Amino acid sequence: MAGDSCVVIALDFGSTYIGYAFSHDKECREIFTASSDGYKERIPNAVLLNTNKDLDCIGEAAKRKYADMTENGTHRTWFYFEWYKTVLHKTENLTRDLEVFDSQGRPISGMLLFGMVIQYMKRQAENQIVQALVGIQIEKIKWVLTVPAIWSDSAKQFMREAAYRAGIDAENLKLVLEPEAAAAHCLNKPMCVVVKQSGGTQYEKFHPGQKYILADLGGGTVDICIHEVIEGDKVREIHRAIGDITGGNDVNISFEQLFVKLFGAPTWMKFKTEYMDEYVDLMSNFETKKREFEASSLDTDETIIRIPVGLQDAIREEYNASFADVLQDTTYVDRIHYRRNKMILKHSVMEELFQRTVQSIMEKLQNLLQDMVAIGEFISVLVMVGGFSESKYVRQRMQAEMQGVRVIYPPEGSLAVMKGAVKMGFRRQNPVIKERRAQFNYGFKLLV
């Protein structure tokens, strides 16, 4: 990619959210993020196609429209997708003929779907650029697309070809790994608070020689690597990225599984399919509670979730009994209570919803630290970015259990990948130097 582009636009294609950022300043003193559908910076990665399999809408608008359509049954000929991105990591022997499945289990071409979403983001970004900057030539815009480092080569190539399908020329497209983009964002940011001899404090950025773990915790993936800051606003990769398909959405899945344990899979599926508008509201309510939830030693702390009428009706139809009555016959009777259309969860219940996901992340971090000690590297700083890193509970667990490690949350951590990708778009060279493996090569091919 040429280093003298007038405008660089980065597309952050996440499992949970999508968004874009851009700058026309080579020094990236100002990086602008987008607002769409009433959401700041990013929108939910939810996609609604019409009966002809053409894109109708994306984001919260797609969620709400599809939910409304379930009320009168008109949704059956439409196609709704969420969490489809993870199929690229889970599929072995990935080919261009990959299929993804909608909410009703019907297949569609993955290349078609990914291409349509990238094209939507591209058009949104172009429209905003044309309005904001005078004299911009659309065909000269340089595009950056972020991909997880833990993906296979074929998954990354799949995204590249989907971008071509969306109308982005090969010579104007650059793929960057998400943790590397996050590192590019963090390099010149104030990273830590330093106590001065006078007793005051000041923020300082990392200096050459500083080694740190970078953990990018997203909704659907976790990327963890180790870097060392070197001269020239670059970092050296000490340990290549490791991770897994896990993240904030796993907590949401555990929340849904809780209802399955309480009232059975048929009841939950009936509510989820027949009362989808109320299901969307319930999960939105839980998302807010999830972000606010904190670690505590007191099980008397409670989380209150409003229960939709549709779920109560589904339970009554299945059991001929109320929500409260059925709850009495479960193993959660002492830890979950029902009062005035609200479910009250004891602290231990909420903690169980986080436990598997957070424990998996903790184990990866601790094993990585032990591996580094074994080769004489002692890392004492953990930098956390990504949407899931903003969870109060996750932060408190990290602070409490990462003994001997200082945990840092850089400014705009949830936007680190998107903004760092813009910076990488202006650079001729990758700011991350890989000394233990060859520079990443995008010349691989998908299976036929």
What is the value of pTM for the model shown? 0.87
Question: 26 vs 431, which has greater pLDDT?
Answer: 26
| Domain-located, residue 448 | no
Q: Is the pLDDT of residue 415 over 50?
A: yes
In this structure, the answer to whether residues 67 and 159 fall within a common structural domain is yes
The tally of domains found in the chain comes to 3
Residues 55-94 pLDDT 10s? 999 999 999 999 999 988 899 999 999 999 989 988 888 9
Residues 264-284 pLDDT 10s? 999 999 999 899 999 999 999
- Separation CA 130–CA 22 (nearest Å): 12
Helix (H) or strand (E) holding 330: none
In this structure, the answer to whether residues 212 and 270 fall within a common structural domain is no
| Domain-located, residue 197 | no
Output DSSP code: residue 308. P
E strand residue ranges, 139-245: 142-147, 173-177, 192-195, 201-204, 211-217, 222-230, 234-244
Mean pLDDT, the chain, integer: 88
Choose the final residue of a domain: 320, 349, 378: 349
| Domain-located, residue 223 | yes
Averaged pLDDT for residues 314-318:
96
Residues 331-385 pLDDT 10s? 999 999 999 999 999 999 999 999 999 999 999 999 999 999 999 989 999 999 9
Residues 281-298 pLDDT 10s? 999 999 999 999 999 767
CB 270 within 8 A of CB 224: no
Q: Is the pLDDT of residue 440 over 50?
A: no
In this structure, the answer to whether residues 57 and 82 fall within a common structural domain is yes
- Separation CA 173–CA 390 (nearest Å): 30
| pLDDT value for 38 | 45
Alpha helix positions (H), 54-193: 60-72, 87-90, 110-132, 153-165, 178-186
CB 259 within 8 A of CB 251: no
| Domain-located, residue 189 | no
Choose the final residue of a domain: 303, 333, 349: 349
Q: What angle do CA 178, 179, 183 make, to 5 degrees?
A: 120
The domain of 216 spans: 205-247+353-411
